Structure 1
Amino acid sequence: MTRAPTAAQRQVIDAADPVTGRLRGTQAQLAALVKRGLAFRHPRPPHDHFLTPAGHRMREAVPEPQVPTPSTGVFTPRVGGEEGAPLAGPARLREVHSAWQGLLELRRMTHPDGAVDRPCGWERTHLVQAAALALEAAGHRPAGGDADGYRVRATAQPEAVAVYAPDPGTLAACGATLERAGWQAGEYTEPRTRVRYLLASPRRV
């Protein structure tokens, strides 16, 4: 049974990178988290420490704190329709690329066979954000301001999100992107509104 971490160790867990789970703390704090099964030390240099699935579950058991970095702040994938969302300039593109590469690394580290072609545990517990990151990283434009683009929304179905797009071509392109990112996606029509949408879920095999 995992013992509860101390307050200082809990701060380290709460401050973990929201995508990769990378930790920052003293060697004693990190070693204690490893001993509790909440973190692991990467075997490759620079031997950073990352949250284990148990560590992620503990971190997500309470609202995640906003832990800004000195330059960019907390990264948040654009799900479409946000007010005051960042523009798709060079800085945003770099952030999205870095977040996507971090997510691929998380897949590699957490899948038993090191696979990066299917979603990991973090994505299955953050469905909307994960699907939005895959779309934004592939260059799709999210809806916002005076621009129309994709919108990712939660659904009542377990492990499934709905993706809306302004036209059939964009919707099909979003579906192809999600398929390449390890999701299953199919097009459906809402019975009352007749609006077409994608129903997407993380692929397991």
Structure 2
Amino acid sequence: MTRPPTAAQRRVIDAADPVTGRLRGTDAQLAALVKRGLAFRHPRPPHDHFLTPAGHRIREAEPEQPEAPAATGVFTARIGGEESVPHAGPARAREVRGAWQGLLELRRMTNTDGATDRPCGWERTHLVQAAALALEAGEHRPAGQDLAGYRVRATPQPEAVAVYEPDTAALRACAATLEEAGWQVGEYTEPRTRARYLLASPRRA
């Protein structure tokens, strides 16, 4: 078994960009993470370092990060139905725009052809968050405790999420946003409840 990262390496991993996985650290720290298979150096300039899937798993294994300042909270896209949600004001809108631009940059740097109109590997391993970010960046309203809106949920199907939205027009607008963001989308009806929902998967080509 591989030894766990040192405390200093763990701090570098925990401080990685929440969307792109881009790392900041000394050359020695980054080289050590690459050697352990927890990071990779991108071949294109400026040759930044990013977490590998193994690095992402280590960071997500312990969501509590007591050594990080409380003010540096990790961005989380709203999947709908959260008990505690970020204030939906200008600051949140800026955070969403920044996260979406970061995701487009990750697509550019990690898709083999540099395409930004097609989901990347990170999105395929974080389906619910990726779809929710696309919807929130598209200015759709997530459901609150007492408010209608979209809800993104995992499904038993590989590489597929379900999107629920009680308003038919809003549901179809969500479908259009996801398709524009590079997802394949189909509209379905639940047999028992007759509720309409979307089944969305990241497009591969």
TM-score past 0.5 threshold:
yes
Other-structure match for 2:77: 77
Residue by residue over 1:63-106, the C-alpha shift from the partner in whole angstroms, topping out at 9 and shown as x without a partner, is 44447666551111000011121122000000000000111111
CA distance change for structure 1 residues 66 and 97 in 2, over 3 Å: closer, same or farther? farther
CA contact (8 A) 1:12 1:24 kept: yes
CA distance change for structure 1 residues 72 and 88 in 2, over 3 Å: closer, same or farther? farther
1:122 aligned partner, one-letter code? W
CA contact (8 A) 2:14 2:65 kept: no
CA drift of 1:158 comes to 1.0
1:39 aligned partner, one-letter code? F
Which structure 2 residue ranges, 5 or more long, are not aligned? none
Other-structure match for 2:147: 147
Alignment of 1:13-24 (within 5 A): 13-24=13-24
* Distance of 1:52 and 1:163 partners within structure 2: 28
Is 1:102 paired with 2:102?
Answer: yes
Other-structure match for 2:196: 196
Is 1:124 paired with 2:124?
Answer: yes
After superposition, the CA RMSD in angstroms is 2.3
* Distance of 1:66 and 1:100 partners within structure 2: 24
* Distance of 1:164 and 1:77 partners within structure 2: 16
* Distance of 2:51 and 2:92 partners within structure 1: 26
* Distance of 1:69 and 1:111 partners within structure 2: 33
* Distance of 1:18 and 1:173 partners within structure 2: 27
Q: Which moved more, 1:4-13 or 1:148-157?
A: 4-13
1:50 aligned partner, one-letter code? F
CA contact (8 A) 2:42 2:109 kept: no
Figure out how many residues of one structure are paired with residues of the other and give that number: 202
Other-structure match for 1:12: 12
CA contact (8 A) 1:188 1:196 kept: yes
CA drift of 1:42 comes to 6.9
Structure 1 moving runs of 4+ over 3 Å:
2-6, 34-37, 41-45, 52-60, 63-72
CA distance change for structure 1 residues 151 and 168 in 2, over 3 Å: closer, same or farther? same
